[in-house]
Amino acid sequence: MQRRDFIYATAAAALAAPRVLRAAAAPARIPLGFLGATYSHGPAKIELAMKSPDWDFVGVCDPTPAGRQICGKLGAKLIAQEELFARARVVAVESEIRDHAAHALLALRAGKHVHLEKPCAATLADARAVFGLAREKNLLVQGGFMWRYHPGFRAIFEAVRAGWLGDVYLVRGFVSNTLNAERRKQWAEFSGGALFELGSHLIDAATRLLGPPQAVTPFLARHGKFDDTLRDNNVVVLDYARARAVVFNTALQAGGTPQRSFEVLGTQGTATLLPIEGGKLMFDLTAAAGPYKKGPQEIPLPAYRRYADDFSELAAAVRGEKKLSVSLDEELLVAETVLRASGMS
């Protein structure tokens, strides 16, 4: 090769190298399939997985008429359980609550990482079996509590863990909705009622903030005038050595906008998220701390899309790039506390 041609060839290779490196650095898509589609969060998660660059969507295993109808509307491929376990590396459990633990165990026995919709289990034995098997097989289980990745909750958790609010002595949460007759009957299958299903979101947050409670006292009531047995107006108190968490829950919300809030009170300040979605995060500090000034202030929050950060973190954990932000021990603690709070332990 003549000297001039050699120089041109070398320069061309150098220019091409970054493109090759960028292509090589693109993470491989992870095969993901769904076991069940009928849980209320299931359709949105399936749609997200079908469009995400993180996931190679292999399909949904759900033989129920409702599941087939959901997949038909989404254009999601229906597959048999054998194909799901043969092709998927990660299985998302989005079936009915009664099947969550059983389906998670099926996936874990097949050697799959699991995204497990909340509530994770309806009995303590099932919860311990799920997380025990995951630990034994060195597999990931990510609980499907969508507000874990909400920027408002993340800011509050950071402030508490950094000590910017001082010693936390009270956590208050309120979560409500309105249910149609069919959904009420579904939730009434469990003695914890609406607290078990919906209230678990805030029990999750309170438990991860404060740790294992010394005592859990539920007040579960059926106050709605409906032809069912659903506990629809509930309160639970989590007691700690020097703190208390109280979660209010009702399925009797009037109007179209659910009342949902979360508040943390400490000896050096308070944090209030009201409403949880589409609302404001307010801090009120006795002195400047971290990035925050003294006194009341609104904290700007970035845009939030349900489930997106959950699945992004799960993909990174499967690739070995990071650990899940909630460990198996914490997942089990949350599951146990949700069951105790629901009078189901």
Higher-confidence residue of 16 and 290: namely 290
- At 228-251, the pLDDT tens digits run 999 999 999 999 999 999 999 999
Q: What is the rounded average pLDDT of the residues 119-144?
A: 98
Predicted local distance difference test score (pLDDT) of residue 5:
52
34 and 47 in a common domain: yes
Predicted local distance difference test score (pLDDT) of residue 256:
72
Query: Beta 233-239 vs 280-285: how paired, if at all?
Result: unpaired
Instruction: Indicate the pLDDT class of residue 13, thresholds 50, 70 and 90.
Output: low
Residue 332 in any domain: the answer is: no
120 and 242 in a common domain: no
CB neighbour list of residue 40: distance below 8 Å, 6 or more residues apart:
none
Residue 194 in any domain: the answer is: yes
Token readout for 326 is 């909630």
128 and 30 in a common domain: yes
Instruction: Indicate the pLDDT class of residue 27, thresholds 50, 70 and 90.
Output: confident
Residue 88 in any domain: the answer is: yes
182 and 119 in a common domain: no
Residue 80 in any domain: the answer is: yes
**CATH code assigned at 120:** 3.40.50.720
184 and 196 in a common domain: yes
Looking at residue 259, the DSSP 8-state letter turns out to be -
166 and 107 in a common domain: no
Query: Beta 113-117 vs 90-93: how paired, if at all?
Result: parallel
| C-alpha to C-alpha distance for 337 and 344, rounded to whole angstroms | 10
27 and 91 in a common domain: yes
Predicted local distance difference test score (pLDDT) of residue 272:
98
Provide long-range contacts, Cβ within 8 A and 24+ apart, for 108-114.
Answer: 108/133, 108/134, 108/137, 108/139, 108/141, 109/133, 110/85, 111/137, 111/139, 112/85, 112/88, 112/139, 113/89, 113/139, 113/140, 113/141, 113/314, 113/318, 114/90, 114/139, 114/140, 114/141, 114/142
Looking at residue 289, the DSSP 8-state letter turns out to be B
229 and 130 in a common domain: no
Residue 337 in any domain: the answer is: no
Predicted local distance difference test score (pLDDT) of residue 255:
80
Closest CA to 314 of 154, 142, 144, 110: 142
Closest CA to 324 of 315, 333, 337, 332: 315
| C-alpha to C-alpha distance for 144 and 245, rounded to whole angstroms | 22
pLDDT of 1 > 60? The answer is no
Predicted local distance difference test score (pLDDT) of residue 20:
47
Lowest mean pLDDT among 16-20, 71-75, 174-178, 235-239: 16-20
**CATH code assigned at 264:** 3.30.360.10
216 in Cβ contact with 238 (< 8 Å): yes
- At 74-119, the pLDDT tens digits run 999 999 999 999 999 999 999 999 999 999 999 999 999 999 999 9
Segments in 63-165 forming alpha helices (H): 65-74, 81-87, 100-109, 124-137, 151-162
Residue 334 in any domain: the answer is: no
Which 3 state secondary structure label does DSSP give 246? Answer: strand
138 and 223 in a common domain: no
Domain hosting 165: range is 148-304
Residue 13 in any domain: the answer is: yes
Instruction: Indicate the pLDDT class of residue 283, thresholds 50, 70 and 90.
Output: very high
Total structural domains in the chain?
2
197 and 298 in a common domain: yes
Instruction: Report percent pLDDT > 70 for the chain.
Output: 92
Q: What is the rounded average pLDDT of the residues 170-197?
A: 96
Other beta carbons within 10 Å of 32: 29
107 and 176 in a common domain: no
Higher-confidence residue of 345 and 104: namely 104
Residue 335 in any domain: the answer is: no
241 and 174 in a common domain: yes
Predicted local distance difference test score (pLDDT) of residue 6:
46
pLDDT of 14 > 80? The answer is no
| E-only strand ranges, 86-227 | 90-93, 113-117, 141-144, 168-176, 215-219
What predicted TM-score, i.e. pTM, was given to this entire model? 0.91
Predicted local distance difference test score (pLDDT) of residue 310:
97
Other beta carbons within 10 Å of 230: 22
Most confident range, picked from 253-257, 259-263, 277-281: 259-263
Predicted local distance difference test score (pLDDT) of residue 8:
47
